[in-house]
A and B are shown apart, each in its own frame.
Chain A
Amino acid sequence: MLEQKEIVGEVKVIVFRLKDEEYGVEVNQVRSIEKLDHITRVPRTPKFVKGVINLRGVVTPIIDLRSRFGLDEAAYTDATRVIIVAVGELEVGLIVDAANDVIDIPADAIEPAPEVVGGVEAAYLRGVAKLEKRLLILLNLDKVLNTEEMKQLDSFEGKHHD
């Protein structure tokens, strides 16, 4: 998808904030942005899985992106948002500190990500976009929502309880 956009020359992204950094996910991977409502905890899942919500009749899992990236978790505020993203058959909500912008990024402004940006491993990143005044970190959702990795984490977490 990114490749196609490159021909056009621009990528439309939803901008959200996590700790001190600004991140972007491609708008066509985003289903909706929700306010944080009641989350039902699902026991014995990785720490970053906060549980499931009722998203208009569909039970949707929610993960805390701070926790997913190993950043220190923060209390949820009025600004906290859940970005519902869809990758393949997966539909997952991402808890972020705030989501407030949609911008077009010129494709040539996107550079490969350095090893670690804002404490997030490069594997989870698609690249970094340098705009006039801001630095935008583009997420690679396929990696962020990798269930294989989650299964490993799951069995790891599981060992704690048995």
Chain B
Amino acid sequence: MDMNQYLDMFIEESKEHLQAINDNLLLLESQPENIQIVNEIFRSAHTLKGMAATMGFEDMASLTHETENVLDLIRNHKLKINSDIMDVIFQSVDLIEGMLYNIIDGGDGSADVSAPVSKLRAIVAGDLSAIVEEQAAVQEAAGPAAAAEQPGKHYDLDEYAVTVMRQSKDAGNHLFWIKVTLQESCLLKAARAYMVFDQLESVGDIIKSTPSVEDLENERFDRSFEIAYVTMQPADAIRTMIANISEIQEVIVEPIELKQHQPAAPQAAQETAAAAQTAEAKQRAENTPVGGTGKKGSAGKTIRVDIDRLDILMNLFSELVIDRGRLEQLAREIDRSDLSETVEHMSRISGDLQNIILTMRMVPVEQVFNRFPRMVRDLAKDLNKKVNLEIYGAETELDRTVIDEIGDPLVHLLRNSIDHGIESPAARRQAGKPEEGTVQLKAYHSGNHVFIEVKDDGAGINKEGVLKKAIERGLVTPAAAENLSDKQIYDLLFASGFSTAEVITDISGRGVGLDVVKNKIESLGGSVSVDSVRGQGTTFLIQLPLTLSIISAMLVQVENEKYAVPLSSIIETAVFRKEEIMLAHRQKVIDFRGRVVPLVSLKNIFQVPDSGRGNDDEVAVVIVRKGEKMAGLVVDSFIGQQEIVLKSLGKYLVNVFAISGATILGDGQVALIIDCNALIK
């Protein structure tokens, strides 16, 4: 059996547990008295340790184990949390995370864990010396050594197993603890183990084995293994039965005495310090991974699906959408009521299907957001600032392709806010603000877009500073600078190679500026803007499309050609009379609701061949926007709104001006999708 098939699962679950540990550690920092949180962390760490050990990542397992020991003391009220201990735990978790990423990258997950291990041991030892008179705690802290030295005294059972055994006993079964030791010369250990299991299962039930069945099958054990067993047979019969299998050196069969009281619930364990209870809690801690994972809180019913499969599903559905368009058109042409009805019904159903598929690909931004509290904490510590991160709308969902890309820009903006935005505690006190700065991270839906806001209550943008720098860098001329609006000045921040920090820190002034953020977000079909009030703070607003693969678009006709304009850029479509068009600086403009909007003739821009259509008295205009700016695209006629599937033009045609891609229409022809951003200057 190959462990590789479990590797993906291990990685996924380890990530989840590490995330849970990180989240809870942060929570614990603010509520150090809440033992419930320690229990949560302990459980995650424990599961993680079990998984790491099973997968053979020894360094990870041992470090997790030491961390667990400290946590165990905390949850048993034998150790008080302080910030030093928190730091050591955080460091250990970081190291574990590092190992996990090493494993993800194909490494063996090994790392030098001696430093954090000795720190963790020091914590355990230091505390123990103080409370050494408190009964059996020493044994507990001795941890695995104690457990390893006296195997057989512990039955290693989780609550489920105990329940099963209790029921079996009530039904008249015998409960046995069996230890089988193979001969030293035994070659096919896994096969022998299998034979033992096979024999045992023919006359009873195996409740549990240590090491786990997987490990046994994989020969991941030394020479002996232990089994908790339920049977109607007497002990002697069982012993003889196993001893008859060849290459068995020794069989020990002992009856299991179940304690009369209910086994302690995980959180109850820390409340009683009785030696027996402690031993049992320790047993749980030493448990094999198999039983551990089931203890997570009740989640909704979900299954894991390979992302590739969802992508394939999406692609297949895209094909269907194209055919749907084709069918709709055919039905219109043929004009038979039963056909039209069927097609209409199919369209409705595929519309529902589309919603479901799109939502299936949606993931909460939480996935990205939840690594930020930790980052902000560390960053604030490094910079000697006090920062409180508030997250709103973490449940807001986005297409996973967007989620994958949005992390880095957000990290950049957050770092920017903490580094450049939030002032030092002293400066804040002087300004009459609370010492602790606040950074808000907000996500919300609006229409076909998701907005993400990064808002700080820091010093705000220093307009003069920005202008000075922009002029220095030659981004604007001093003359032009005079006439810039606030908004235009702030937009300079996004200009290539701009950094306003006086001192280049390694936090955010690393040569790459906000222009990288802007490019990234625009490549996702979104936009970013900034607003600021001096002395009160700065807000970055990111606008993102909900999905990247199927979009709503307005189809327009220009002479004999059809183009698609994404609905997300359209404000309105309107028809103007010829005499309403005015000239301003030789540029055709219209008055659109009191605003002067320049007209862009698609026919000219795209050099569309004349079809001899002749002149109308009216012009059809699609009013589009890019941020605050607007433009009117002059077309011949509007064909209608339609869901279209985005297709790329392929690798041969790259960077085609003002064209972001193509789509296939109902008649099988290709229509180009207009990139409105390129048309608005």
Contacts and interface: CB of A to CB of B under 8 A. Distances in A.
Given A59-B649, A59-B650, A43 B606 contact: yes
A147 B654 contact: yes
Given A61-B650, A91-B650, A43 B670 contact: no
Interface in B606-631: 606-609
A34 B148 CA distance: 73
Interface residues of B, number: 28
Contacts of B528: none
Given A43-B605, A43-B608, A52-B649, A57 B662 contact: no
A57 B664 contact: yes
A41 B652 contact: no
Contact of B657 (A44, A58, A151): A44
A135 interface: no
A43 B652 contact: no
Nearest to B645: A57
A134 interface: no
A147 B651 contact: yes
B209 to A, nearest CB: 52
Interface in A78-119: 89-92
A158 interface: yes
Contacts of A29: none
Contacts of B652: 61, 90-92, 145, 147, 150
Given A54-B664, A57-B319, A41 B561 contact: yes
Contacts of A145: 652
B192 interface: no
B669 A90 contact: no
A145 B647 CA distance: 21
A40 B672 contact: yes
Contacts of A57: 319, 322, 664
A43 B605 CA distance: 8
B657 A43 contact: yes
A131 interface: no
A49 B561 contact: no
A52 B607 contact: no
A60 interface: yes
Given A43-B607, A43-B608, A44-B656, A52 B651 contact: no
B673 to A, nearest CB: 11
Interface in A50-79: 51-54, 57-61
B664 A61 contact: no
Contacts of A52: 649-650, 653, 662, 670, 672
Given A40-B671, A43-B608, A49 B664 contact: no
Of A43, A90, A91, most B-chain CB atoms within 10 Å: A43
A147 B650 CA distance: 12
A58 B319 CA distance: 10
Contacts of B655: 151, 154
Interface of A: 38, 40-45, 49, 51-54, 57-61, 89-92, 145, 147, 150-151, 154, 158, 161
Given A54-B664, A61-B653, 7 more contacts: A38-B668, A42-B653, A43-B608, A44-B657, A52-B649, A59-B648, A145-B652
4 nearest A-B pairs in the assembled complex, by CB-CB distance: A43-B606, A40-B670, A44-B657, A59-B662
8 contacts: A40-B672, A43-B605, A43-B656, A52-B650, A54-B664, A54-B668, A54-B670, A59-B649
